[in-house]
Amino acid sequence: MMYTKSVMNASDLEKKAALVRKWCLISTTEAASGHATSALSAADIGAVLFDKYFTFDLKNKQNLYNDRLIFSKGHASPLLYSLYAAAGAYPFEELKTLRQFGSMFEGHPVPAFPYTEAATGSLGQGLSIGAGMALGLQKIEEIKPKPKVFVLLGDGEMAEGSIWEAADFATYYKLNNLIAIVDVNRFGQSQETMFGHNLFSYRDRLSAFGWETMLIDGHNYGEIDNALKAGVGNRTQKPFAIIAKTLKGKGIPQWENKNGFHSKPVSKDDLPKILEDLGNPKDEVIFSLPKPKKIFQLIQSAQSIDVSLSHNEDEKLMTKEVYGKALVEVAKKIDTVISLDGDVKNSTSSQDFEAVFPDKAIECFIAEQNMIGVGIGLGKIGFMPFISTFSAFFTRAFDQIRMGRVSEATIKLIGSYAGVSLGKDGSSQMGLEDMAMIGALPDSVILYPADAIATEKLVGVMPSITGISYMRLSRPKVPIIYKDTDMFSLGGSKILRQSEEDLLTIVAAGITVHEALKAYEELKKEKIFVRVVDCYCIKPIDNDTLIECSRTTQQNTIITVEDHFSHGGLGDFVMEAVSGTGACVTKMAVMHISHSGTEEEVLDDAGISAKHIIAKVKQLV
């Protein structure tokens, strides 16, 4: 890339960087903890960025014409906080509350800090989130020119595979509004990083992934200035990476470029001398961030959509094949809906969405960690991401999902091929831990429809949900058991069979609803009457219906049947719902690793088929 050298005042920038360093040190010393050295290494880069290149309206952070800044190396949060203080966002003195309970300045950036784009600190995730934001901004035609997304990366996290998933993705989608800044300060937490100060290793790898790159001295203001100017002025069709050689602990002579000080603050005794060496810079607003000249914001539409597809009454359908068609109907009414898939769209049926809305369908390929991060980034700028793959494959991206919850992100996860009922593909493809995984997250939602109509109705409910929501879908073709007029709600369930003679209640979800109904018909022939409940919303669960069913059946007993491992699934949610009521809950779940086979064979082998339900009822009555 050709670029011209910028005119700048190195002495002035050095003074500004000194003030930023001062508050990185004061805040961590006051907290008696924190990653001062990691903040100090990038302070010069941060100072030049805020002094000349970062466009942001502090009073309207939702404006999509703002540039975006993500600290993927979230442990350098003292630098992030000090930069915004130096831009006048809040008084410097507030930084002394760093890491205190109730302070917005937590140890790593979270949404409590109003200028955090997404929670970071679990390394390797910021570039994916930044890529999602950059792609989203490119897709909004009204925004011209495109704002820049800056992502500060640590050299240690460059060992994370998710970084390279994101790097590949950014090149494929030609995200030339994405600027990665790699702070190569040589040391990780316990030792030297993989490549130390060998900048060429990082350059070669990023170049091989198709990035435009520049190598600089991260403490030379002229080089920093020129690199940021080149990145902001990038006219190629490539993302841009600035690879900066820095010194960990820059500004503390006795710690500078030395191992062993990763998470140590300066002592209160040593701090005065270090601040004196920095010139004891005056506390003043030194950065005047330019505001965007225009304002644009995506309009959020958190509402339920009534989805009604046409089905034959005697038709058998996979719940997973209904999803894409239902999402099309939702997207017709909500402009911000966007679909992400990981190269399984012909299995998840998201290809049906892509056929109607090709510009709103994002292929993320076989890189689930990056796919979740991209979804979080898209959600954070106002899109409504529906993210689909096999339920089993979400497990490899659980840390991204977990951090999405910490980020207060709103994403919709669609897990197809759940449970042993997947059949012949075998155990490696069977999602049997997914409800435990998603259910562990505070305020998450888990939906598990039993037929085509329940699926389409619940897809319509998902836009109204804030936070992490998950829909579990199955492969077997099942009959339609509901009518188009049936209503489905968050926290609801359906009593499918009941009488005054019911001995106990069978609670099922998804595929096991059909096994429970088969068992009901056989038991009825023997004058054994049971209640059957479809618990289509597993979290939040329908406490009232479950408690009422247990109290109004003769044995005050509930049997749960689920195509999921025993721990953390439907049975545990039901037990929690009726705890303290005296109800007895018996769990029927998958207890061992399954095998390839027909759906009937694997359900029977897992002990959750109609035959086993009948046997369990007879045992209990």
- 3: pLDDT strictly greater than 60: no
Active site residue 93: no
The model's pLDDT over 142-192, given as tens digits with 9 standing for 90+, comes to: 999 999 999 999 999 999 999 999 999 999 999 999 999 999 999 989 899
The model's pLDDT over 377-402, given as tens digits with 9 standing for 90+, comes to: 999 999 999 999 999 999 999 999 99
Closest C-alpha among 78, 102, 101, 82 to residue 90: 82
Backbone φ, ψ for residue 590 (5° rounding): -75, 125
Instruction: Yes or no: say if 161 and 127 are a contact pair by the CB < 8 Å rule.
Output: no
The residue behind tokens 């109609």 is: 610
| 3-class SS string, 167-218 | HHHHHHCCCCCEEEEEEECCECCCCECCCCCCHHHHHHHHHHCCCEEEEEEC
Cis peptide before 253 (omega within 30 of 0): no
DSSP symbol at 565:
E
- 313: pLDDT strictly greater than 90: no
Cis peptide before 540 (omega within 30 of 0): yes
Average per-residue pLDDT in the chain?
96
Instruction: Yes or no: say if 614 and 523 are a contact pair by the CB < 8 Å rule.
Output: yes
Instruction: Yes or no: say if 386 and 360 are a contact pair by the CB < 8 Å rule.
Output: no
Instruction: Yes or no: say if 52 and 106 are a contact pair by the CB < 8 Å rule.
Output: no
Beta strands in 398-475 (DSSP E): 411-416, 445-447, 468-472
DSSP 325-353: HHHHHHHHH-TTEEEEESS-HHHHSHHHH
Instruction: Yes or no: say if 550 and 578 are a contact pair by the CB < 8 Å rule.
Output: yes
Spatial distance between the Cα atoms of 246 and 183, rounded to a whole number of angstroms: 6
The model's pLDDT over 560-619, given as tens digits with 9 standing for 90+, comes to: 999 999 999 999 999 999 999 999 999 999 999 999 999 999 999 999 999 999 999 999
CATH class belonging to 12-277: alpha beta
pLDDT of residue 254: 86
Spatial distance between the Cα atoms of 508 and 493, rounded to a whole number of angstroms: 10
pLDDT of residue 8: 65
The domain defined by 316-479 folds into: Rossmann fold (3.40.50)
SS3 416: strand
Spatial distance between the Cα atoms of 221 and 489, rounded to a whole number of angstroms: 58
Q: Encoding tokens for residue 277?
A: 């060496």
Closest C-alpha among 20, 134, 84, 150 to residue 289: 84
Backbone φ, ψ for residue 384 (5° rounding): -115, 90
DSSP 550-605: HHHSTT-EEEEEEEEESTTSHHHHHHHHHTTTT-EEEEEEE-S---SS-HHHHHHH
316-479 and 12-277 share a CATH fold = yes
Percent of the chain residues topping a pLDDT of 70:
99
- 332: pLDDT strictly greater than 80: yes
Closest C-alpha among 406, 331, 323, 401 to residue 369: 401
Spatial distance between the Cα atoms of 512 and 507, rounded to a whole number of angstroms: 9
The model's pLDDT over 485-513, given as tens digits with 9 standing for 90+, comes to: 999 999 999 999 999 999 999 999 999 99
Instruction: Yes or no: say if 481 and 520 are a contact pair by the CB < 8 Å rule.
Output: no
Enumerate the domain spans of the chain.
Answer: 12-277, 316-479, 494-620
- 329: pLDDT strictly greater than 80: yes
Beta carbons within 10 angstroms of residue 466's beta carbon? 12
pLDDT of residue 10: 86
> Half-sphere exposure of 290 toward its Cβ, with a 13 Å CA cutoff?
12
What spatial distance separates the first Cα and last Cα of the chain, rounded to whole Å? 78
User: Quick one: pLDDT band at residue 9, thresholds 50, 70, 90?
Assistant: confident
Spatial distance between the Cα atoms of 234 and 250, rounded to a whole number of angstroms: 29
As a whole number, mean pLDDT of residues 437-454 equals: 98
The model's pLDDT over 536-559, given as tens digits with 9 standing for 90+, comes to: 999 999 999 999 999 999 999 999
Spatial distance between the Cα atoms of 529 and 218, rounded to a whole number of angstroms: 75
pLDDT of residue 2: 37
Q: Encoding tokens for residue 306?
A: 């009534």
Spatial distance between the Cα atoms of 548 and 557, rounded to a whole number of angstroms: 11
Spatial distance between the Cα atoms of 95 and 145, rounded to a whole number of angstroms: 34
Q: Out of 106, 160, 321, 368, which one is annotated catalytic?
A: 368
CATH number of 494-620: 3.40.50.920
pLDDT of residue 261: 84
SS3 161: helix
The model's pLDDT over 595-612, given as tens digits with 9 standing for 90+, comes to: 999 999 999 999 999 999
As a whole number, mean pLDDT of residues 279-305 equals: 94
pLDDT of residue 6: 52
Closest C-alpha among 612, 513, 607, 534 to residue 566: 607
User: Quick one: pLDDT band at residue 59, thresholds 50, 70, 90?
Assistant: very high
* Amino acid residing at 20: V
Instruction: Yes or no: say if 583 and 550 are a contact pair by the CB < 8 Å rule.
Output: yes
Handedness of CA 21, 64, 167, 74 (dihedral sign): positive
As a whole number, mean pLDDT of residues 449-478 equals: 97
The model's pLDDT over 19-56, given as tens digits with 9 standing for 90+, comes to: 999 999 999 999 999 999 999 999 999 999 999 999 99
Beta carbons within 10 angstroms of residue 397's beta carbon? 25
User: Quick one: pLDDT band at residue 301, thresholds 50, 70, 90?
Assistant: confident
The residue behind tokens 């069979």 is: 497
pTM above 0.85, yes or no: yes
Say what angle helices 10-31 and 77-86 make with each other, to 10 degrees: 120
Spatial distance between the Cα atoms of 40 and 253, rounded to a whole number of angstroms: 12
